[in-house]
Amino acid sequence: MRLDYHVLDVFTEKRFSGNPLAVVHGADALDAKTMQTIAREFNLPETVFLLEPQNKAHTARVRIFTPAAELPFAGHPTVGTAVLLAELRTPLSNGRGEALVVMEQQIGIVRVGVRLRAGAPSFAEFDTPKAPESIGVVPSTERLAAALGLIPAEIGFENHKPTRYSAGNPFLFVPVASLDAIGKAGVASAHWNAATQGNIGMFLYCRQTVHTTSSFHARMFAPHNGIPEDPATGSAAAAFAGVVHRFDDLPDGQHKRLIEQGYEMGRPSLLTLSLEVAGGALGTVRIGGHAVHVANGTLQV
């Protein structure tokens, strides 16, 4: 069996930066074990498998795999797959186009708006399929610091404290005092399991940034999912909306935050987080970013 595939870089406007993604077409005949094997072979943070939608009004059904596990939802596969499908199926008029891509993911229906411009990277933005929610107990600062190779004094800034949130995938959110401290962080294997049990990984963030236009600098480690470090994590950014709303006392209205990630890996990425606050409550949350083609080919299964 031969299946076409594409590789894209996501949350970037430049090739060979951002978060790489493989998308395999026509995967209906593959079982989960084979999909996992193929994802391990690509060895990218995530691989998407496209299947016929159960509802013909939708664009596609997708399954998402890291090199080690299947995920019910993920951000950079959502953005990258939507851009790819829109570019393949949407004709441009006067060099411009708009598309709505509706994907059936394990978490549910995910709708993605795509903006197409001739000669420029496409931009996609999706509404999070679940609202961010605080979930469960957070390990002590000492345990988190040990797992990251930091000292406890480097955990936290302003009123931000470690939290645990999910918008489909659970993450530990760890505020770090400075850009210097977050650059030193890493996975301390001897302490990692005790600190991260039951979570996809740890999302570290600080207020200091490389670029003045960014709102937060971030890193994300998920070694047990086959991702030692992720260049850009859309599902974590979706849940991070809950963290921002909780600690930054946002007034009612629309808010936009730019998150830079991947710089320590040499794969700079930029994620757009948009959130709405009404009556003091967090409402609609959207994640957006650009994606660019890198490669395409045929996979022999």
What are the extents of the domains in the chain? Answer: 2-128+290-300, 133-288
Phi, psi of 278 (to 5 degrees): -140, 125
pTM of the full structure: 0.96
Report residue 116 as tokens: 């197409």
What's the CATH number for 133-288?
Answer: 3.10.310.10
DSSP 252: S
Same CATH fold assignment for domains 2-128+290-300 and 133-288:
yes
Per-residue exposure over 238-266, b if at least 16 CB sit within 10 Å of its own CB, e if not? bbbbbbbbbbeebeeeebebebbbbbbbe
The predicted structure's pLDDT at residue 200 = 87
Rounded to an integer, what distance in angstroms lies between the CA atom of residue 146 and that of residue 156?
14
Instruction: List Cβ neighbours of 105 (8 Å cut-off, separation of 6 or more).
Output: 61, 62, 64, 72, 73, 78, 129
Which residues belong to the active site?
46
Is the CB of residue 21 less than 8 Å from the CB of residue 77? yes
Counted residue by residue, the chain has a size of 301
The predicted structure's pLDDT at residue 199 = 84
- Per residue in 282-295, pLDDT tens? 999 999 999 999 99
What's the CATH number for 2-128+290-300?
Answer: 3.10.310.10
Q: Which residues of the chain register pLDDT less than 50?
A: none
